[in-house]
Amino acid sequence: MATASGHSRPMTQAPAADLILHHYETSPFSEKIRVLLGVKGAAWRSVLIPSILPKPDLTPLTGGYRRTPVMQIGADIYLDTQIMLAEIERRWPSPRTISGADWATNLWADRLMFQTAVPLIFGELGAQVPEAFIKDREKLSGRPFDPAAMAAAAPFMATQFRGHAAFIEAGLADRPWLAGDAPGLADAAAYMNIWFAGRNVPATTDRLLAGLVRTLDWRDRVRALGHGQRTELTGAEALEIARAADPAPPPTHDPADPSGLAPGAEVVVMADDYGRDPVRGRLVAATARSITLAREDPAVGRVHVHTPRVGYVLTAG
Report the DSSP beta bridge partners of residue 295. 303
CB 168 within 8 A of CB 194: yes
141 lines the binding site for ligand GSH (CB under 6 A): no
Selected range binding ligand GSH among 22-30, 121-129, 183-191, 292-300, rule: CB under 6 A:
22-30
Q: Which amino acid is at 128?
A: Q
235 lines the binding site for ligand GSH (CB under 6 A): no
Selected range binding ligand GSH among 80-88, 120-128, 149-157, 259-267, rule: CB under 6 A:
80-88
140 lines the binding site for ligand GSH (CB under 6 A): yes
67 lines the binding site for ligand GSH (CB under 6 A): yes
- Residue of the chain from 82, 290, 292, 307 that contacts ligand GSH (CB under 6 A): 82
- The count of chain residues that interact with ligand GSH, using the rule CB under 6 A, is 13
Strand, helix or coil for residue 308: strand
28 lines the binding site for ligand GSH (CB under 6 A): yes
Q: How far is the CB of 180 from ligand GSH (least distance, A)?
A: 23
Selected range binding ligand GSH among 23-31, 146-154, 172-180, 295-303, rule: CB under 6 A:
23-31
Pattern of binders to ligand GSH over 95-134, x per CB under 6 A? ---------------x------------------------
183 lines the binding site for ligand GSH (CB under 6 A): no
Q: Which one, 25 or 246, has the nearer CB to ligand GSH?
A: 25
Whole-angstrom CA distances from 190 to 28, 104, 181, 200, 311 are: 10, 11, 16, 16, 19
193 lines the binding site for ligand GSH (CB under 6 A): no
Q: Which one, 30 or 212, has the nearer CB to ligand GSH?
A: 30
Q: How far is the CB of 25 from ligand GSH (least distance, A)?
A: 11
Kindly compute the dihedral angle of the four CA atoms of residues 96, 101, 103, 104, in this order, to the nearest 10 degrees.
-160
Selected range binding ligand GSH among 37-45, 76-84, 158-166, 285-293, rule: CB under 6 A:
76-84
Kindly provide the b/e burial profile for residues 176-187, where b requires at least 16 CB atoms within 10 angstroms of the residue's own CB. ebbbeeebbbbb
CB 295 within 8 A of CB 281: yes
E strands of 35-119, at which residues?
43-48, 70-73, 76-79
E strands of the chain, at which residues?
19-23, 43-48, 70-73, 76-79, 229-232, 266-271, 279-286, 290-297, 301-308, 312-316
Tell me the C-alpha distance between 218 and 96, whole Å. 19
Tell me the C-alpha distance between 51 and 165, whole Å. 27
160 lines the binding site for ligand GSH (CB under 6 A): no
Q: Which one, 55 or 295, has the nearer CB to ligand GSH?
A: 55
Strand, helix or coil for residue 196: helix
Residue nearest to ligand GSH (CB): 67
215 lines the binding site for ligand GSH (CB under 6 A): no
Contacting ligand GSH within 268-297 (CB under 6 A): 275
Strand, helix or coil for residue 265: coil
Interacting residue ranges for ligand GSH, rule: CB under 6 A: 27-29, 51, 66-68, 80-82, 110, 140, 275
